[in-house]
């Protein structure tokens, strides 16, 4: 069995990411691993991140609200800036992560062609195993208010 000591979990605060977080927590518990929870502020969002009053703090608070249901799973949090796939790969390497658990929206066709897939780029370029999680179609879990671009509204 491959030892898993550190798991990187990137989140965009989407419903899909919330679903994937549950698996990341379960794996961290099962392996006795540390969980690194990260959010990447994309280039086009950086102006809002730095300009909006309290936006940075709200984002960091939202990130820290992601708590494993299993007590005893050590968690670190990180907000990074840049291209999401590039930053996820960098953080995984810099932190010696043994596994990446990432949600995927499962876009297909024109949406996938136009928007690409962060998860796909991570799978193709990561130096460690990557688990991708797609939200089941019958999911009734609607904890986050989503905009048309599928990003969470930060309140």
Per the domain annotation, does 155 fall within a domain? Answer: yes
Report if pTM > 0.85. no
Number of domains in the chain: 1
- Measure the CA–CA gap between 149 and 147, rounded to whole angstroms: 5
Per the domain annotation, does 111 fall within a domain? Answer: no
The predicted pLDDT at position 144 comes to 38
Per the domain annotation, does 81 fall within a domain? Answer: yes
Taking Cα atoms as reference points, which of 38, 26, 37, 28 lies closest to residue 4? Answer: 28
E strand residue ranges, 22-65? 34-41
Write phi, then psi, for 147 (nearest 5 degrees): -90, 175
The mean-pLDDT minimum among 39-53, 54-68, 92-106, 118-132 falls in: 39-53
Domain encompassing residue 130 = 41-95+124-155
- Rg of the chain over CA atoms, in angstroms? 15
Per the domain annotation, does 62 fall within a domain? Answer: yes
Per the domain annotation, does 20 fall within a domain? Answer: no
Per the domain annotation, does 50 fall within a domain? Answer: yes
């Amino acid at each position: 069995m491959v030892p898993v000591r550190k798991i990187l979990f990137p989140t965009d605060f989407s419903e899909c990411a919330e679903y994937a977080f549950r698996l990341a927590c379960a794996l961290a518990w099962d392996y006795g691993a540390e969980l690194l929870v990260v959010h990447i502020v994309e280039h086009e969002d950086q102006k809002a991140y730095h300009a909006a009053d309290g936006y940075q703090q709200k984002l960091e608070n939202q990130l820290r609200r992601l708590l494993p249901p299993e007590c005893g799973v050590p968690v670190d949090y990180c907000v990074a800036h840049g291209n999401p796939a590039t930053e996820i790969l960098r953080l995984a390497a810099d932190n010696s992560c043994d596994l990446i658990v990432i949600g995927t929206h499962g876009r297909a066709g024109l949406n996938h062609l136009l928007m690409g897939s962060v998860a796909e780029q991570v799978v193709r370029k990561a130096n460690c195993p990557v688990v991708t999680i797609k939200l089941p179609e019958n999911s009734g879990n609607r904890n986050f208010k989503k905009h048309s671009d599928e990003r969470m509204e930060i309140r």
